Copies of this chain bind each other. A is one copy, B any other.
Amino acid sequence: MTNLIQLGKQAKETAYQLGGMDTKTKNSLLLQMADELEKQTSLILTANEKDLAQATANNISETMQDRLRLTPERIKEMAEGIRQVATLPDPIGEVDKMWKNEDGLMIGNQRVPLGVVGIIYESRPNVTTDAASLCFKTGNAVILRGGKEAFHSNQVLVKTLQQALEKNGASPYAIQFVDDVSRETAGKLMKLNDYLDVLIPRGGVNLIKTVLATATVPVIETGTGNCHIYIDKDAQLEMATNIIVNAKCQRPSVCNAAETLLIHKDVADSFLPVIEKALNEYNVELRADERALAIFQQAIPASEEDWETEFLDYILAVKVVDSLDEAIQHINRYNTKHSESIISDNYFATQQFLKQVDAAAVYANASTRFTDGFVFGFGAEIGISTQKLHARGPMGLAELTSTKYIVYGDGQYRK
């Protein structure tokens, strides 16, 4: 069984070194990691085959197997991802502002690493290299605990990154792997307060819930997105149709896809048939409230549960509302504080929506699919925070840092 205390100690010691490592060294090590990854392609593919064989034996769906599958191209993409991280500006050491206080102290607020970051994930093996490189760039030691489906792939990926570090004289403990996928060990990791500064779960709603209920380590909640599009009475039909089709169908399995369409009663009769036709091309199942049901050609009644469900599939809940206020109330009641959008030509309606809707990202006249660290221009993304503390919305490198006050005095004591 993995000795988490041992991993924690190693991580903490290494974190102090990483905190002081200059950007050039970190970037050079990242490039070495990328090269090593490509060099070890056949080793990685062999490990991945073990996971795939296991998946076949366990009758895992083809969609899931595809997520798990590595190919030479995908490994090359992972390496490119790491090289990309090397090109990003390093936030560590930045002093956001510095001022002189009344005592003549020079007080600066400097970016420093968080320390030791734990990541619990269940998604594709590329999370391993993504998360490891982003944590490394920001001077954090990372402890990775992936899902059992990708165990062999993750293990060899971490070993490869560690080899690159060791070959170049750096500590392999910067990137560590929990090689025990038992729930018991996951539970212990969530309570490893003496060594972990933060825990970031990446995965489905059940994983997130378990971590939130169990962890005593500070957690950054990510990812679940019950997102809404509200079509106002003053919306343009073509724009509304384009946006709802995009938000639902471009990639339904991701957290910024739309799950519910709310539409103002004044335009429901004219808009919904057009929207239904457009969604039909993607075979979207419509689950509608009574009023929408009367308009659609083909739909089933929505249940209370549908309003709160993140379908992650070609399913859309649809509700006709009497007013903008009702739409906002519905959203604030059922949403997961991720991404919400209003389609409207009306200045005051859009301003009210942007102001009153409680979510990480609130849009006027754009698809919710844009909530993404790369799209926002951060050059990276470690996840999308749906909590209000520390980070909210897409998290880039800056969100993997903390700050400390550095204070230059000349003998001051407090009077």
Q: Which residues of A are at the interface with B, using a C-beta cutoff of 8 A?
A: 16, 19-20, 99, 101-103, 105, 107, 112, 114-115, 193, 197-198, 212-213, 216, 218-220, 236, 239, 242-243, 245-247, 250, 332, 350, 354-356, 358-367, 369-371, 375-377, 387-390, 392-393, 402-414
B413 & A243 in contact (Cβ 8 Å cutoff): yes
Tell me whether B413 and A363 are in contact (CB under 8 A). no
Contacts A355-B20, A366-B413, A390-B390 given; indicate if A405 touches B360 (C-beta within 8 A): yes
CB neighbours (8 Å) of A247 from chain B are 413
Q: Which residues of B contact A366 (CB under 8 A)?
A: 103, 105, 407-413
Given A212-B216, A377-B101: A404 and B393 interface contact (C-beta under 8 Å): yes
Q: Which residues of B contact A216 (CB under 8 A)?
A: 212-213
Q: A16 touches which one: B332, B387, B406, B411 (CB < 8 A)? A: B332
| A99–B377 touching, CB < 8 Å | yes
Give min CB distance, A328 to chain B, whole Å. Answer: 9
Residue contact A370 to B103, C-beta cutoff 8 Å: yes
Verify B407–A403 contact, CB threshold 8 A. Answer: no
A67 smallest CB distance to B (angstroms): 20
A197 to chain B, nearest CB (A): 5
The chain B residue with its CB closest to the CB of A413 is B246
On whether the beta carbons of B376 and A115 are closer than 8 Å, the reply is: no
Given A198-B388, A403-B392: A370 and B16 within 8 A (CB)? Answer: no
- Quick check: A404 and B359 within 8 Å, CB to CB? yes
- Interfacial chain B residues near A103, Cβ < 8 Å: 366, 370, 375
In the complex, what distance in Å separates the CA atom of A358 from the CA atom of B198?
16
Inter-chain CA distance A216–B410, complex, in Å, is: 43
Main secondary structure of the interface of A (DSSP, over half): mixed
Measured CB to CB, the closest approach of chain B to A19, in angstroms, equals: 8
Q: Is the CB of B356 within 8 A of A20?
A: yes
18 pairs, CB–CB < 8 Å, chain A vs chain B: A16-B356, A19-B358, A99-B377, A101-B376, A102-B377, A103-B366, A103-B375, A198-B389, A218-B387, A359-B404, A360-B405, A361-B405, A364-B408, A365-B410, A367-B413, A370-B407, A393-B403, A393-B404
Contacts of A376 in B (CB 8 A): 101, 107, 405
Q: How far is the CB of A360 from chain B (nearest CB, A)?
A: 6
Which residues from B are CB-within-8-Å of A363? 407, 409
Give the residues in chain B near A220, CB-CB below 8 Å. 389
In the A-B complex, the 5 residue pairs with the closest CB atoms: A366-B409, A246-B413, A388-B402, A369-B414, A390-B390
Q: Give the distance in Å from the alpha carbon of A414 to the alpha carbon of B257 in the complex.
A: 11
Closest chain B residue, CB of each to CB of A411: B239
Q: Which of B375, B389, B411 contacts A390 (CB 8 A)?
A: B389
